[in-house]
Chain A
Amino acid sequence: MEHLKLQGKLRSRILGLHYKANSGHIGCSLSCIDIMISILKFKEPSDTFILSKGHAATALYAILNETGDIPGEALETFYKNATTLPAHPAPLKYGAIPFATGSLGHGLPLAAGIAKAKKLKPSQGISYVLMSDGETNEGTTWEAAHFAIAHKLDNLVVFIDKNGLQGYGNTADILGDTASAKVWEAIGFDVAEADGHDVSAMLAIKQKLTENKNGRPKLIIANTIKGKGIPYMENKMEWHYLPMSETQYHEAVKKIEADYNC
Chain B
Amino acid sequence: MRKHFSAYIEKIAERDDIVFITGDLGYNALENLALKMGCRFINAGVAEQNMIGIAAGMASQGYQVICYSIAPFVVYRCLEQVRNDVCFHNMPVYIVGNGGGYGYGIMGASHHAIEDLAVLSGLPNMHCYVPAFIEDMNECLDEMFSARSPAYFRLGLGKNMPTYLSLKDYGAASVVNIQAELTIIAQSPVANNLVSALKDNPVMDKTEVFVLNKMPLQTLPAAVKASIARTKNVLTIEEHIAIGGLGSAVSLLANELSLPINKFISLHAEGYPGGLYGSQGYHQQLSGLDEGNISRIINSYFNLS
Which of A91, A113, A121 has the most chain B CB atoms inside 10 A of its CB? A113
User: Which residue of A113, A123, A140 contacts B56 across the interface (Cβ within 8 Å)?
Assistant: A113
User: Closest chain A residue to B88 by CB distance?
Assistant: A91
B292 within 8 Å of A (CB atoms): no
Residues of B within 8 A of A120 (CB): 19, 39-40, 58, 63
Do A109 and B45 touch across chains, with their CB atoms under 8 A apart? no
> How many positions in chain A have a CB within 8 Å of any CB in the partner chain?
31
Task: Bits for A103-124, please: 1 = Cβ < 8 Å to B, else 0.
Answer: 1011011111111111011010
Which of B39, B47, B52, B80 has the most chain A CB atoms inside 10 A of its CB? B47
User: Closest chain A residue to B50 by CB distance?
Assistant: A143
Do B63 and A117 touch across chains, with their CB atoms under 8 A apart? yes
User: Which residue of B39, B47, B56 contacts A110 across the interface (Cβ within 8 Å)?
Assistant: B56
Task: Bits for A88-114, please: 1 = Cβ < 8 Å to B, else 0.
Answer: 000110000011101101101111111
Residues of A within 8 A of B55 (CB): 113
Residues of B within 8 A of A100 (CB): 84, 88-89
User: Which residue of B19, B50, B89 contacts A140 across the interface (Cβ within 8 Å)?
Assistant: B50
User: Closest chain B residue to A127 by CB distance?
Assistant: B57
Residues of A within 8 A of B39 (CB): 120
Residues of B within 8 A of A123 (CB): 61
User: How far, in angstroms, from A120 to B54 measured CA to CA in the complex?
Assistant: 13
User: Closest chain B residue to A91 by CB distance?
Assistant: B88
Do B53 and A106 touch across chains, with their CB atoms under 8 A apart? yes
Do B89 and A109 touch across chains, with their CB atoms under 8 A apart? no
Secondary structure dominating the interface of A: helix
> How many positions in chain B have a CB within 8 Å of any CB in the partner chain?
28
Do A143 and B47 touch across chains, with their CB atoms under 8 A apart? yes
B231 within 8 Å of A (CB atoms): no
Among A5-34, those with CB < 8 Å from B are none
User: How far, in angstroms, from A91 to B87 measured CA to CA in the complex?
Assistant: 10
User: Closest chain A residue to B63 by CB distance?
Assistant: A117
A255 within 8 Å of B (CB atoms): no
Among A117-136, those with CB < 8 Å from B are 117-118, 120-121, 123, 127
Do B56 and A99 touch across chains, with their CB atoms under 8 A apart? yes
Do B50 and A114 touch across chains, with their CB atoms under 8 A apart? no
User: Which residue of A118, A127, A140 contacts B53 across the interface (Cβ within 8 Å)?
Assistant: A140
Do A117 and B58 touch across chains, with their CB atoms under 8 A apart? yes
Do A112 and B53 touch across chains, with their CB atoms under 8 A apart? yes
Do B61 and A109 touch across chains, with their CB atoms under 8 A apart? no
B60 within 8 Å of A (CB atoms): yes
For the A-B complex with A113-B59, A114-B61, A147-B45 known, give 9 more contacts whose Cβ atoms are closer than 8 Å. A99-B60, A109-B53, A109-B56, A109-B81, A113-B54, A120-B40, A139-B49, A140-B53, A150-B45
